[in-house]
C-alpha cells in the first residue's frame, strides 16, 4: 500500500478513503488493467478482412510485451476465493463487451458477429496463454484453428 500511495502521491489513508477498502482497490485496479488490455485489442483491430492476418501475427506479441504482468495479476486476483464473485461479474461483462466489439467488426470485415465473437474468445485465450507462458506451440495451434475457421466461413483458399 505504501509503494502504491507513494507512486500516486497520496497517503495510505487517502487511497483507502477513495476506494473504501483494500479489497475495492484490488478489484478496481484489476478491472482497470484489463480494460486497458481490451483497449489495445480494439485499437489494433483489423480494418478489413485482408488485415486479419496482420492482427493475428502481431497482437499476441504486442499484448505479451505490454500486458503479461496484468494477465498474471488478474488471474491471481480472480482465482482467489475472496474475489471469485468479482471475477464472475467481470467475465459476464466481457461477454457483453465482446458482443459489441464483434458487431462493430462485423461491418468492417463482412463476417457474422457470432463468428467474430467466437474467434475473439479463442484469440484472446491464445494471447493470454502466450503472454503468461510464452508457449509458441499452443499459440500457433490456436492461430491456425482461427485461420482454418476463417477459410471455412469465407470459402477462401490459403
Burial pattern 108-134, b for ≥16 Cβ within 10 A else e, equals: ebebebebbbebbeebbebbbbbbeee
Q: State the burial class of residue 55 (Cβ atoms within 10 Å of its Cβ: 0-12, 13-18, 19+).
A: middle
Interval 4-32: pLDDT, tens = 899 899 999 999 999 999 999 999 999 99
Phi/psi at 56 (nearest 5 deg)? -65, -35
Nearest to 56 by CA among 147, 132, 141, 130: 147
3-state SS of 61-123 is HHHHHHHHHHHHHHHHHHHCCCCHHHHHHHHHHHHHHHHHHHHHHHHHHCCCHHHHHHHHHHH
pLDDT given for residue 140 in this prediction = 98
pLDDT given for residue 18 in this prediction = 93
Q: Where are the domains of the chain?
A: 23-154
Nearest to 146 by CA among 111, 127, 120: 120
pLDDT in tens, the chain (158 residues): 889 899 899 999 999 999 999 999 999 999 998 888 999 999 999 999 999 999 999 999 999 999 999 899 999 999 999 999 999 999 899 999 999 999 999 999 999 999 999 999 999 999 999 999 999 999 999 999 999 999 999 997 65
In the three-class reduction of DSSP (H, G, I as helix; E, B as strand; rest coil), residue 11 is classed as coil
pLDDT given for residue 156 in this prediction = 79
Nearest to 1 by CA among 18, 60, 93: 18
Amino acid at each position: 500500500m505504501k509503494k502504491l500511495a507513494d507512486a500516486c502521491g497520496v497517503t495510505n489513508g487517502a487511497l483507502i478513503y477513495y476506494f473504501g477498502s483494500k479489497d475495492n482497490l484490488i478489484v478496481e485496479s484489476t478491472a482497470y488493467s484489463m480494460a486497458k488490455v481490451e483497449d489495445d485489442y480494439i485499437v489494433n483491430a483489423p480494418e478489413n478482412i485482408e488485415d486479419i492476418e496482420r492482427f493475428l501475427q502481431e497482437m499476441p506479441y504486442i499484448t505479451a510485451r505490454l500486458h503479461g504482468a496484468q494477465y498474471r495479476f488478474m488471474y491471481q486476483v480472480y482465482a482467489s476465493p475472496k474475489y471469485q464473485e468479482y471475477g464472475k461479474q467481470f467475465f459476464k461483462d466481457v461477454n457483453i463487451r465482446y458482443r459489441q466489439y464483434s458487431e462493430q467488426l462485423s461491418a468492417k470485415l463482412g463476417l457474422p458477429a457470432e463468428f467474430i465473437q467466437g474467434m475473439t474468445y479463442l484469440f484472446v485465450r491464445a494471447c493470454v496463454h502466450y503472454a503468461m507462458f510464452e508457449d509458441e506451440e499452443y499459440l500457433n495451434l490456436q492461430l491456425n484453428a482461427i485461420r482454418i475457421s476463417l477459410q471455412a466461413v469465407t470459402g477462401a483458399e490459403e
